[in-house]
Structure 1
Amino acid sequence: MPQSPLVSVRHLKKYFPAKKSFFGRTLEEVRAVDDVSFDIRRGETFGLVGESGSGKSTTGRSVIRLYDVSGGEIVYDGQDLTHMPEKGLKPYRRRMQAIFQDPYSSLNPVLTVTELIGEPIDIHRVYPARERRDVIYELLEKVGLKREHADRYPHEFSGGQRQRISIARALAAKPEFVLCDEPISALDVSVQAQVVNMLEDLQAELGLTYLFIAHDLSMVRHISDRIGVMYLGGLVEVADSDELYEHPAHPYTQALLSSIPVPDPRAVRRERIVLGGDMPSPLSPPSGCKFRTRCPHAMGVCAEDTPRMKEIAPGHYVACHLFDKDE
């Protein structure tokens, strides 16, 4: 029998109030995430890509319940976390950790590395107190730092080193699932590959499951087993990594992939797809298909009906009316 997913997200919605009446009633809301569904299998890396403002980070933070959700369902290891109170969430806070985009702002500048990594150990009591210092040293070595770094402060490190501290801090709670929310976008290009390779090594060693969010499409392909493409709060395509990059189906995915730089443009000819206009506002998204205002293949039905996810190849799903005739 196929293994049940570690994380199962169904029809997830997260709306933020944008305008309220004098009496506190919401008059306008930003639909940051609107009806998103996907599964993450145990031990895999599920990547999320899309433009800024597509809802990737909001989706990730909703999945680990840093945000209360507006609708839908989040099931972790068979347990519904959607509306679980904070007291009930505490055991899952240990099992689900996060690595954020800016390592400096996510680390308290007045705490030493020992105090930063020791906090999750103290809160969740995953190790005996007598082992605390040795565990911190071991975690530092796992992420490529040294013991002498333990008594320094975040400002004494480079961006790449600070991100390594953030990773060690996330691992201190002995998690199963890690949200990697654009963990390399604030780093130098020379450091990005080192951090991604380290995340892969840690995944293999510790059996971790990742939700990996990034702008760098080539790096997402390198680390991800499956990839979901988001546009204006919704998923438009989900497929295995190689399948998505070799056979992109949705016009938005095709445009995204055409923007990836290639080392030798003369050796690899790729037609650049330039989309017209800007992403619509999530305050008033277009009717029907949200991508239709920028899509070169838009039809009349695109304005009337919201396309449903359909399987066009084994494990390859796309939400586009261009594939309705195949049903």
Structure 2
Amino acid sequence: MKALVYTGSRSVEVRDVPAPQPREGAVKVRMAYCGVCGTDIGIYSGKHPRAQAPLVLGHEFVGRVEQSVEGSRFAEGDRVVAYPLISCGHCHPCRNGTPHVCANLRLIGIDRDGGMTDHQWIEESVLFKVPDSLSDEVAALVEPLAVVVRTLHQARFALLQSAVVMGAGPIGMLTAIVLRHAGASNVIISDVDPGRLALCQELGFETVDVRNASLVEHVEAVTRGDGVDTVFECSGVESAALDMTKLVRVGGTICLTATHKSPHAMNLIDVNFKEITLIGSRVYTQTEFGSALALAETLAAELRKTITQVVPLSDAAGIFDMIAAPSINTVKILVDCQS
């Protein structure tokens, strides 16, 4: 069968790979679509600390149960998405109800072969049935949507609060969409990519192109110097770490949605003097993953607009060149695993 395989730093290939073998408690899932994530970009660049070649990429997938086991809660033909986190069950977080931040956390598509292939055997304990009303394409966005559900929970975002989203990548754009659905009074989203900002404007969001305008000055003007209630840092870039404390009001909240890959300077004086709550957010719980699946039904029309390219698996070796090309506006790329 065919699969997109990470073969080494800045190298991926569409290869014939051996069919995976059945596992106890697992069902055979024929993949439909798999999303390309920032984590996949990190793996491709050779910078992910755990991903080892050869590896079938992909943890944002939707598929159809092709073979189940006796007594399974899934029938052949059921469409499913998978909670891709693998926790050890023994560490302090696992023993105390937070296995999503397991000290030994592993993921499908990073620590074992993922979904950019014809099929995989997936433990039925992590599968969620996709409602009939939800398309395969939008169902492939449930995993990144779960990241957003978690970050809003961590920020304790409340009705009619205002927000800045720093970064209009897939997670930033989904964050803005969910914030509006959650009753935000105003959402401002910033980025350097004109194509992504244009899509944000099409979706009805206030945008700031930080290549030629100051986000800090814009927020000061809009809020009359008060700042917004919550800043969601979704960019992971160094300049954002220094600016984010200037954007939030006294007593406001900054939620680190993006993972900053190296230490960055930030203004801790602001944290003290403005009594800012600074909180991190990492992946999601199984409950939040289920909530994201339900939310996807409600937001399907808006979510579909963030899918900018669908690439056949046979051509998927070029997806990272597409992402890097300035002339190609990419937000969320899906791999069609059956073409």
Same fold (TM over 0.5): no
Q: What TM-score do you get using the length of structure 1 for normalisation?
A: 0.29
TM-score, normalization by structure 2: 0.28
> Which has more strand, going by share of residues?
2
Rg bigger for which structure? 1
